[in-house]
Chains A and B, each alone.
Chain A
Amino acid sequence: MHEVLERYRPIVDDWAAFTAAVERPLGKTVRVNTLKADVDRVRAAFEEAGVDAEPVDWNDRLLAVDTDSPGSTWPAFHGWIHTQEAVSTLPPIALDPAPGEVVWDACAAPGSKATQLAALMEDRGRLVANDRSMGRLSALRFNAERLGVTNAIVTNRDARNYSLSPLDVDAFDCALVDAPCSGEGTLRKNPAALDEWSESFLEDIAGVQTGILRRAIQATAPGGRVVYSTCTYAPEENEAVLDAVLDAEECRIVEQELPIETRPGVTAWEGQEFDPSIERAARVYPHLEDTGGFFLATLEVGG
């Protein structure tokens, strides 16, 4: 196991199970793109191709497939599926946008969650899919077009000072901040994920994460929801960011109804105490449901 993860021993409940799970490679999952096909059609297409595709028990639109290259199949070519890690489907499920809403995806590339949001919106209303990286926008556009999304506007800006001016709205109905992060939770699919890890990176990225989440709170209408997510275990990038944003903006953390087993957010880390409501955030550990590692919290805008 990677030595960086040792620092989380105090907050992980079953250390042996955690370390064992992190060592196992992650199974492939694909999300059924309901804009172009339904689960039955996708399963029939996989069956015809001799690929086993079974829904996972907590998400009937997510299929575990017994192929290493689901992207080279008829369902993928037709845009009926998107290869997506199981935990990556959680933020859109938590945000649960309605068709017709105006939704902001602040860090949208390469588009797995953005296209899932569009599917939940039934391709109606407006999805504003932003990413600061011009290089990653091409992947976002490619995926959105392949998956048949027509309700998305793609922008290339710094989310921290995002302007609503070109849009025909005063505020977003809801927003997703799937923040850039140190990526510790992705070790099972990318063993090199932590090669560049450093404490100073944590500090830098936490500043960016706080800035983006603050802007999302400001740009979302009172009563609207903002989901904050990362694929890291580091409290510096998770609970500490929420704590800073609770201090700075009018918002609160609300209970989440998630379809999988999770652990509560931590309220203390390395001598720092966090707001008690941060317990409502969810930590996803690999040993709980055989997934990658993840973190997500749902905030509601307003006092």
Chain B
Amino acid sequence: MSDEGDGAGGSEPLEDGAENVSHRFDRLAPTDAERTVAGRPSRDGVLAWWTERFGIPADAFAEHTFWEKGNGKPWVLAGDAADPSDVEALGMTALRTRQEHWKPTTDAVQRFGHHATRNVIDLEPAEARRFVAGEDQAIERWDGDWGYLIAAHEVAGDRAILGVGLYVHGELRSMVPKGRRREL
């Protein structure tokens, strides 16, 4: 709850506030050069990462803005917001940027992952079931990059995005959050 009186209640749009305030959303700065918070990603940086890692074009987010509460978890919001200082959520959490390797969320890849052109691993039916149950599994056939991949499978003849897997040493580790796991 943001009842601590930090003076963030003005009507001017906030942009990349001068310090991280854990309960207040700030819009990501447009570019790295315009950042005022060390370590926080910029919009350009986030868009470049989606493109570089998954081939998702910046156009896919043309109607969206990115926000952060100061904990390395940018959110993606359709359109813009004026002063989101007292809200619980702005759109959906999109990725985590605290570690060296950024990690997309399950919800974001289910929403935007159909634009991906690389680092997508297509799973067989039994693999897909293990993946959504949260299990790690050996998959030797992948000869692409290690790291975070978008996992997909086929439903009624078309590719459907499942979520995020971490591929290392011939193993695909399911990143499906506990609340989303299902025995299918």
For B, the interface residue count at a CB cutoff of 8 angstroms equals 40
Give the nearest-CB partner of A155 in chain B.
B87
Whether the pair A166, B156 counts as a contact (CB closer than 8 A) is: no
Whether the pair A150, B77 counts as a contact (CB closer than 8 A) is: yes
Tell me if B11 counts as interface (CB < 8 A to partner A). Answer: yes
Measured between alpha carbons, how far is A167 from B86 in the docked complex, in Å?
Answer: 10
Q: Which residues of B contact A155 (CB under 8 A)?
A: 86-88
Measured between alpha carbons, how far is A270 from B156 in the docked complex, in Å?
Answer: 56
| A168/B82 contact (C-beta < 8 A), A74-B184, A152-B91 known | yes
Tell me if B76 counts as interface (CB < 8 A to partner A). Answer: yes
Within 144-158 of A, Cβ neighbours of B (below 8 Å) are at 144-146, 148-156
Q: Which residues of A contact B179 (CB under 8 A)?
A: 142
Q: Distance in Å from the Cβ of B156 to the closest Cβ of chain A?
A: 4
Q: Which residues of B contact A47 (CB under 8 A)?
A: 156
Whether the pair A78, B160 counts as a contact (CB closer than 8 A) is: yes
Whether the pair B88, A141 counts as a contact (CB closer than 8 A) is: yes
Whether the pair B80, A154 counts as a contact (CB closer than 8 A) is: no
Within 112-154 of A, Cβ neighbours of B (below 8 Å) are at 123-126, 137, 141-142, 144-146, 148-154
Whether the pair A148, B110 counts as a contact (CB closer than 8 A) is: yes
Tell me if B92 counts as interface (CB < 8 A to partner A). Answer: yes
Give which listed residue, B87, B93, B157, contacts A145 with CB less than 8 A.
B93
Give which listed residue, A41, A137, A149, A153, contacts B84 with CB less than 8 A.
A153
Whether the pair A79, B184 counts as a contact (CB closer than 8 A) is: no
Tell me if A161 counts as interface (CB < 8 A to partner B). Answer: no
A-B interface contact total, Cβ < 8 Å: 106
| A145/B92 contact (C-beta < 8 A), A47-B156, A150-B111 known | yes
Tell me if B115 counts as interface (CB < 8 A to partner A). Answer: no
Give the nearest-CB partner of B110 in chain A.
A79
Within 126-143 of B, Cβ neighbours of A (below 8 Å) are at 132
Tell me if B171 counts as interface (CB < 8 A to partner A). Answer: no
For A, the interface residue count at a CB cutoff of 8 angstroms equals 37
Interface string of A144-185 (1 = CB under 8 A from B): 111011111111100000000111100000000000000000
Measured between alpha carbons, how far is A200 from B1 in the docked complex, in Å?
Answer: 32
Whether the pair A153, B87 counts as a contact (CB closer than 8 A) is: yes
Whether the pair A141, B132 counts as a contact (CB closer than 8 A) is: no
Whether the pair B155, A45 counts as a contact (CB closer than 8 A) is: yes
Measured between alpha carbons, how far is A71 from B85 in the docked complex, in Å?
Answer: 34
Give the nearest-CB partner of B183 in chain A.
A72
Whether the pair B64, A77 counts as a contact (CB closer than 8 A) is: no
Tell me if B16 counts as interface (CB < 8 A to partner A). Answer: no
Tell me if A44 counts as interface (CB < 8 A to partner B). Answer: yes
Q: Distance in Å from the Cβ of B2 to the closest Cβ of chain A?
A: 10
Q: Which residues of B contact A76 (CB under 8 A)?
A: 182
Whether the pair A77, B182 counts as a contact (CB closer than 8 A) is: yes
Tell me if A190 counts as interface (CB < 8 A to partner B). Answer: no
Measured between alpha carbons, how far is A137 from B89 in the docked complex, in Å?
Answer: 10
Give which listed residue, A125, A146, A150, contacts B76 with CB less than 8 A.
A150
Q: Distance in Å from the Cβ of A79 to the closest Cβ of chain B?
A: 6
Whether the pair A48, B87 counts as a contact (CB closer than 8 A) is: no
Q: Distance in Å from the Cβ of A204 to the closest Cβ of chain B?
A: 25
Give the nearest-CB partner of B154 in chain A.
A48
Tell me if B100 counts as interface (CB < 8 A to partner A). Answer: no
Interface string of B52-91 (1 = CB under 8 A from A): 0000000000011000000000001111111111111111
Measured between alpha carbons, how far is A126 from B11 in the docked complex, in Å?
Answer: 17
Whether the pair A141, B156 counts as a contact (CB closer than 8 A) is: no
- 22 A–B contact pairs at CB < 8 A? A44-B155, A72-B183, A73-B184, A74-B160, A77-B180, A77-B184, A78-B110, A78-B162, A124-B63, A141-B88, A142-B179, A144-B89, A148-B111, A150-B64, A150-B78, A153-B90, A153-B91, A154-B87, A154-B90, A166-B9, A166-B81, A166-B82
3 nearest A-B pairs in the assembled complex, by CB-CB distance: A168-B82, A44-B156, A154-B89
Residues of B within 8 A of A (CB): 1, 9, 11, 63-64, 76-93, 105, 107, 110-111, 132, 155-158, 160-162, 179-180, 182-184
